[in-house]
């Protein structure tokens, strides 16, 4: 669920007295369902390997179901260790890629959403879960447990910077899913993937994370006395580009689920906020010029920013009331500043340059916003090295190591094919 209630109840769906608060929206969390891996692997891999694979997966299931707010770090460690063993199943030389049926469920309704016999699907699901947990961790950093006496949300600069790092890491996980994992899954299996694992959705969440990282950077720039208007405008324009890209990615996905529609509403809300900020700072820069025509264009930017801000409030409400109901975090960062400054500046500048607007008999068309090269990039991610349990001498206990068995089978097939060819030549 979005922000997963800051992961205060990761698995078991409990009755909640209050509507969860959200800063970083987490559109889909899925957890593994306990499965009997021993039966599928019996006689094919050493017992210690089967035990480790099964125990690590079951550990993830149990932590997800029973742990509280501290589960994120524990789940992250368990997933990383599980992946190092799991990658062995994807190696073609072992012939185990399609042997086990992996079951996963959706956190929101607790129902099973997939049962797929493909090791790469399991890797995709595990890395996707790591990304969602990382987004949830960033969300929890931006929702402080205590508020100041004035009722204003206080988030430390350290928490904001750490949240940016987490957003970049989550974006990297998701880019890896799109670039390296989805490409390994057969087309017939891709068609069965749940909504949250569709390529367009994964790409949208990855870009969304970069957009929210830029939003935090803009808030830090607003708080910094040395940050220039040009820096603030650039960050606002970059944020706008990110959310525009994320929106386009989502439009290409099917929305037969309510949660997909809620995700789209969230992106639209953040897009409108970013556009309001971009026009506001663009207007401030234009207004510094002494040319009367620039003053008119600047006023048009301020009035557009004010209108966009009003639209963003409606989009926020639409997001919050859409099922499952949530509430937006209290104003913080750049938007706390802009919700006060945009209406104030728009009113003052309209009065100041009203005579110029009268002379022009109306507003000029809004100027194009500057186009900037995007600054934030997803962190690089690679799967962990394969666990040494796959090189264990206990393979010998099976009577013949699986690698040798597969090699012998290939050699037998080659010899049989050679004999057939020889007989055909004799004929």
Give the model confidence (pLDDT) of 275-333 as tens digits. 999 999 999 999 988 777 788 889 999 999 999 999 999 999 999 999 888 888 888 88
CATH value at residue 192:
1.25.40.280
- Asked if residues 366 and 279 have their Cβ atoms less than 8 Å apart, the reply is yes
Long-range contacts of 250-256 (CB under 8 A, 24+ apart): 250/200, 250/201, 250/204, 252/200, 253/195, 253/198, 253/200, 253/201, 253/204, 254/195, 254/198, 256/195
Q: Is residue 409 domain-resident? A: no
Rounded distance, CA 149 to CA 392, Å?
A: 60
Q: For residue 14, what pLDDT is reported? A: 47
* Residue 405 forms part of a structural domain: no
- Given a cut of 90, whether residue 72 has pLDDT beyond it is no
Distance CA 163, CA 159 (A): 6
Total number of residues shown for the chain: 427
Residue 16's contacts (CB-CB under 8 Å, 6 or more residues apart) are 5, 9
- CA distances to 40, 133, 313, 379 from 4, rounded to whole Å, are 33, 9, 23, 23
Residue 140 lies in a domain: yes
Q: Is the pLDDT of residue 271 over 50?
A: yes
- What pLDDT sits at residue 119? 95
Q: Does some domain include residue 399?
A: no
- Triad 326, 330, 334: Cα angle to 5°: 120
pLDDT for res 292: 73
Structure tokens at 334: 């750049």
Most confident of the ranges 2-11, 37-46, 67-76, 211-220: 211-220
pLDDT of residue 246: 96
- Total structural domains in the chain? 1
Full domain range(s) for residue 169: 4-389
Quick one: tokens of 367?
Answer: 């100027």
| 195 vs 275, more confident | 275
**Would 394 be classed as within a structural domain?**
no
**Bridge partner residues of 112 (DSSP):** 105
| pLDDT tier, 255 (very low <50, low <70, confident <90, very high otherwise) | low
Instruction: Please give the C-alpha separations between residue 2 and each of 21, 113, 331, in angstroms, as whole numbers.
Output: 9, 18, 18
Q: What is the pLDDT of residues 40-61, one digit of tens each?
A: 888 888 888 999 999 999 999 9
**Quick check: 240 and 271 in contact, CB under 8 A?**
yes
Residue with tokens 């040798």: 404
CB 103 within 8 A of CB 35: yes
Contact 270, 319 (CB under 8 A): no
- The pLDDT-based confidence of 6 (bands split at 50, 70, 90) is very low
The pLDDT score that the predictor gives to residue 419 is 53
pLDDT score at 65: 77
Between residues 360 and 93, the one the model is more confident about: 93
Cis peptide before 223 (omega within 30 of 0): no
Name, in order, each residue with C-beta under 8 angstroms of 171's C-beta and a sequence gap of 6 or more.
206, 207, 209, 210, 213, 376, 378, 379
Per residue in 337-349, pLDDT (tens digit) is 999 999 999 999 8
Q: Does the residue 395 lie in any domain?
A: no
Asked whether residue 404 is domain-assigned, the answer is: no
pLDDT over 60 (residue 5): no
Residue 424: the pLDDT is 46
Instruction: Give the C-alpha separation, 200 to 208, whole Å.
Output: 12
Please say whether the dihedral angle defined by the alpha carbons of residues 296, 297, 302 and 304, taken in this order, is positive or negative.
positive
Does residue 252 belong to any structural domain of this protein?
Answer: yes
């Amino acid at each position: 669920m979005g922000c997963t209630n800051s992961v205060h109840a990761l698995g078991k769906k409990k009755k909640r007295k209050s509507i969860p608060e959200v800063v970083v929206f987490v559109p889909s969390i899925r957890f593994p369902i306990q499965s009997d891996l021993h039966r599928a692997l019996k006689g094919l891999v050493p017992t210690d390997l089967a035990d480790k694979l099964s125990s690590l997966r079951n550990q993830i299931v149990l932590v997800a179901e029973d742990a509280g707010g501290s589960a994120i770090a524990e789940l992250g460690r368990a997933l990383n260790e599980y992946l190092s063993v799991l990658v062995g199943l994807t190696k073609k030389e072992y012939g185990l890629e399609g042997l086990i049926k992996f079951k996963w469920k959706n956190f929101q309704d607790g129902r099973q959403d997939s049962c797929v016999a493909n090791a790469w699907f399991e890797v995709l699901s595990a890395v996707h879960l790591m990304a969602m947990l990382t987004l949830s961790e960033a969300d929890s950093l931006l929702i402080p447990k205590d508020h100041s006496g004035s009722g204003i949300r206080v988030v430390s600069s350290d928490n904001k910077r750490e949240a940016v790092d987490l957003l970049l890491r989550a974006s990297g996980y998701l880019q890896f899913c799109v670039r390296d994992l989805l490409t390994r899954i057969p087309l017939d299996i891709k068609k069965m993937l749940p909504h949250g694992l569709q390529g367009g959705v994964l790409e949208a969440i990855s870009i969304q994370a970069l957009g929210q990282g830029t939003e935090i950077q803009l808030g830090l720039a607003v708080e910094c006395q040395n940050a220039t208007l040009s820096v603030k405008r650039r960050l606002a324009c970059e944020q706008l580009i990110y959310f525009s890209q994320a929106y386009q990615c989502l439009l290409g996905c099917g929305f037969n689920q309510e949660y997909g529609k809620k995700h789209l509403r969230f992106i639209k809300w953040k897009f409108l906020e970013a556009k309001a900020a971009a026009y506001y700072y663009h207007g401030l820069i234009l207004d510094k010029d002494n040319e009367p025509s620039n003053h008119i264009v600047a006023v048009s930017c301020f009035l557009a920013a004010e209108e966009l801000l009003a639209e963003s409030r409606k989009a926020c409400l639409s997001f919050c009331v859409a099922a499952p109901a949530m509430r937006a975090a209290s104003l913080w960062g750049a938007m706390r500043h802009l919700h006060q400054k945009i209406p104030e500046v728009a009113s003052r500048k309209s009065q100041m340059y009203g005579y110029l607007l009268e002379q022009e008999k109306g507003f000029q068309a809004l100027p194009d916003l500057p186009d900037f090269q995007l600054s934030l990039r997803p962190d690089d991610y690679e799967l962990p090295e394969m666990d040494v349990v796959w090189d264990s001498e206990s393979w010998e206990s099976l009577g013949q190591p699986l690698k040798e068995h597969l090699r012998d089978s290939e050699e037998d097939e080659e010899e049989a094919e050679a004999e057939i060819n020889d007989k055909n030549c004799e004929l």
